[in-house]
Chains A and B, each alone.
Chain A
Amino acid sequence: MTDKLFDDFVKDKLGQHNSGAPMHVWERIREKEKDNKKGFFFFKRFWLTGIVLLTLSGMVYLSWDSVIKHSNQEKLLTTTTEQNNTNNSNQTSTIAQTENDQNKAGLSATNNNTVLEKQDNENTLLTQGPVQQTEAGKNEPVGINNTSHSDVAAPLKIKKQSNALIKENNAEINSQQKIQADKTGNLIHSPVQSSEQTAAKEFVLSFTNMAAYRNSLKDFRIGNVPQRTVGPSCPTVNGPRRNDLYIEVYGSPDYTMRSFSNSANLNNYIAQRRTSEDNRNGFSAGVRIAKNIGEKTLLKAGVNYSQINERLKIVNENEKQITQIITIRTVIRTPGDTLFIRDTTYFEQTGTRYRTTYNRYRFIDIPVIFSYEFGNPEILAFSVNAGPVFNVVSFYRGEVLDTTFNPVKISTAKGSGPNNWRSNIGISVFASFAVYKRVNERLQIFAEPYFRYNFKPVTQSTNFVNQRYTTTGMQLGIRYNLFNEKQRYR
């Protein structure tokens, strides 16, 4: 009852007590607000600048890309047109030269001469056949094969093929013309329009159309279709072979599960450990190299750093502290006669002691992981990964409770106490499932939930209490293709 009265008295007195508003604190708040506003403004401006820059660069990129595409298309069209003309002239000249050579070598018995004649319609005509010496001393064709090349837009290879066909056809036609010339005497201009010639012409045109079609395909691919939609590469006799070398950089928030096992009957001790220590989670980060060893399999190896955080809280309600107070008094009785009086008293205090220690358990490992990839690497790929993780070194900082519930520092020295931990936890097993999203030609981002099981506890084998950690986490990172060769053919 008296306690209640006392409590009410204190509450009434202090509950609504006003100590007076300290206006200098208000001034401080105002100044801080101004600073914050400035900071916020700067921050905002910084972000605004960033956004503007990004937008501008995006716009420049897009416009530049479209300009390049447009110019490519124009160039393609120009080159196609030019190619038509130049190819015709080149073609005819090539043919002329070839046939001249043939004539020189005496390979052709019937075609003694080859003459190029340019007509008024600017189409190049290939004229072959026996020629007569005119009065002006010029070589004039006896048989004319009117093959128009104005609409030819074929690559050189195809044109050569068509030229070969033209030659074959011309040879036949010329032989007919020769016969005709033999019959009629001096035949100067005798165009031949046989069915064979027309068929040959159509055949050549079909080739030239194919070339045009191929060019248009090329144009279509460059201009309109994204690169990633290009179909799969053709397999060779040996099959397609990847030659990828990736570097993967990642970080992961981790969640660790702790388990205890003990050889002695120390259930109370373990219960105390569980209540006094709580998991503050951890993280891991690393870098690894991934090399494909098959079409869909990869081998990964790298360095991984992981950290487990824990908090140890100890509340000791009846803590006693003894304070020694030494008082020295100086008494000057006469000059030169000084007396020092030293009093020593001990003061014992009892109270509650709160103690919090943040423990850090760190591990450096080398993971060796086998990975099997599936899905579409151009859009979204997946992989299943598993392998051993070799611990290089483990080091710790912090405190744990000993069996008398007093905090003791963790050490890697050999011993049987709960604070004697391993400096190397040996081999662990790693398993994960990853999802890869392509960002550009070389870069991918990935998310990889994983699970790691440690075979060995962190405590030394001689300990009566074994403490083991199992870790799960979500690795988030980027993967960069160093070679960027989609396929290599053997």
Chain B
Amino acid sequence: MHRHLFLKINHPILILTDHQLIHGCIKNDQQCQQQLFERFAGKMLTVCLRYAIDRMEAEDILQDAFIKVYMNLSQFKFEGSFEGWIRRIVVNTALKYCQKKKMKYDEVQPEAANVGGIDPSAYTHLNEAELLKLIHRLPEGYKMVFNLHIIEGYSHEEIAVMLHIKDSTSRSQLVKARRYLQNEILKMQKSIAV
């Protein structure tokens, strides 16, 4: 069985299932590890980019997160989505990075909170890169809550525990973040129109 697996792994064209990849990685098979990285690193880099200040920091987070993934693969119980498991590790690593900065000064334009909901036609043309740029511009507290709630799908209670803040703080941060983003989208539209 073991020999058979190795033969399979060493075949460059063969695409392994998550299950096979995990077992290969646990056995320290480098090709499996590389294939796992190639399969998930792209998506996870997007996650990191959403939390990090710049691409360099995002890559550092990604590196640390994947090392953790390789080290803790044996703890994966095949109970849920493997990608979800990796994503959780990446998010936790990103949060730790952000929490290392003891003092955070989150800035927001005073008018940001005054914008109401915008029409979907205003943002449907936006691509991923533009959206990422907009999220990058968010103040740190807003960015965290927005990412965790809207994209990762954590509840406010979970976010409160993760960020050591109150539920109400998480809710208010989310509202402000949303308004801020919508405001930025409107600004972008105006500049394009001009």
Contact = CB atoms under 8 A, between A and B. Distances in A.
Interface of A: 1-3, 5-7, 9-11, 13-26, 28-30, 32-33, 313, 315, 317, 319, 321, 348-356
B21 to A, nearest CB: 14
A249 B160 CA distance: 43
B110 to A, nearest CB: 6
B66 A29 contact: yes
Interface in B105-121: 105-110, 117-120
Given A2-B117, A22-B59, 6 more contacts: A19-B42, A25-B59, A26-B34, A32-B63, A33-B67, A321-B105
A352 B37 contact: no
Contacts of A30: 30
Contacts of B178: 3, 6-7
Contacts of B150: 7, 10-11
A5 B142 CA distance: 19
A17 B105 contact: no
A354 B108 CA distance: 15
A19 B45 contact: yes
Given A321-B107, A350-B110, A352-B106, A15 B38 contact: no
A25 B41 contact: yes
Interface string B114-136: 00011110011011100110010
B104 A354 contact: yes
A355 B103 CA distance: 5
Interface string B124-155: 10111001100100010110000000110000
24 contacts: A2-B120, A3-B117, A6-B118, A6-B120, A9-B123, A10-B150, A20-B45, A21-B37, A28-B63, A29-B63, A29-B67, A33-B70, A313-B164, A315-B165, A315-B169, A317-B172, A321-B105, A351-B107, A352-B104, A352-B106, A352-B141, A352-B142, A353-B104, A354-B104
Interface centre among A15, A30, A319 (most CB of B within 10 A): A15
B96 interface: no
Contact of B131 (A1, A7, A13, A356): A13
Interface string B49-82: 1100000000100110011001000000000000
Nearest to B30: A30
Contacts of A19: 42-43, 45-46, 49
B63 A25 contact: yes
A26 B141 contact: no
B93 interface: no
B102 interface: yes
Q: Interface of chain B, helix or strand or loop or mixed?
A: helix
A6 B43 contact: no
B141 A354 contact: yes
Nearest to B163: A354
A29 B70 CA distance: 10
B34 A16 contact: no
A424 to B, nearest CB: 31
Contact of B108 (A13, A29, A350): A350
B183 interface: no
Nearest to B39: A21
A77 to B, nearest CB: 61
Contacts of A9: 120, 123-124
Contacts of B141: 351-352, 354
A481 to B, nearest CB: 46
Given A317-B172, A351-B105, A353-B104, A13 B126 contact: yes
Given A22-B62, A317-B172, A353 B105 contact: yes
A323 B39 CA distance: 45
A319 B131 contact: no
B38 A17 contact: no
A322 to B, nearest CB: 12
Given A6-B182, A351-B105, A21 B41 contact: yes
Contacts of B103: 353-356
Contacts of A351: 105-108, 139, 141
Contact of A14 (B105, B119, B132): B132
Interface centre among A24, A30, A313, A315 (most CB of B within 10 A): A315
B105 A5 contact: no
A247 to B, nearest CB: 41
Given A29-B66, A32-B63, A10 B151 contact: yes
Contacts of B169: 315, 317, 352
Contacts of A26: 34, 37-38, 41
A152 to B, nearest CB: 75
Contacts of A317: 169, 172
A454 B77 CA distance: 50
B48 to A, nearest CB: 9
A352 B131 contact: no
Nearest to A3: B117
A349 B123 contact: no
A23 B37 CA distance: 9
A17 B43 contact: yes
Contacts of A349: 107-110
B43 A16 contact: yes
Contacts of B128: 13-14, 17
A18 B42 contact: yes
B164 A2 contact: no
Contacts of B132: 14, 17
Nearest to B142: A352
Interface centre among B128, B132, B182 (most CB of A within 10 A): B128
A32 B106 contact: no
Contacts of B106: 351-354
A25 B62 contact: yes
Given A11-B150, A13-B128, A21 B42 contact: yes
Nearest to B122: A6
Contact of B67 (A18, A32, A319, A355): A32
A28 B64 CA distance: 10
Contacts of A356: 102-103
Given A11-B150, A26-B37, A32-B67, A21 B45 contact: yes
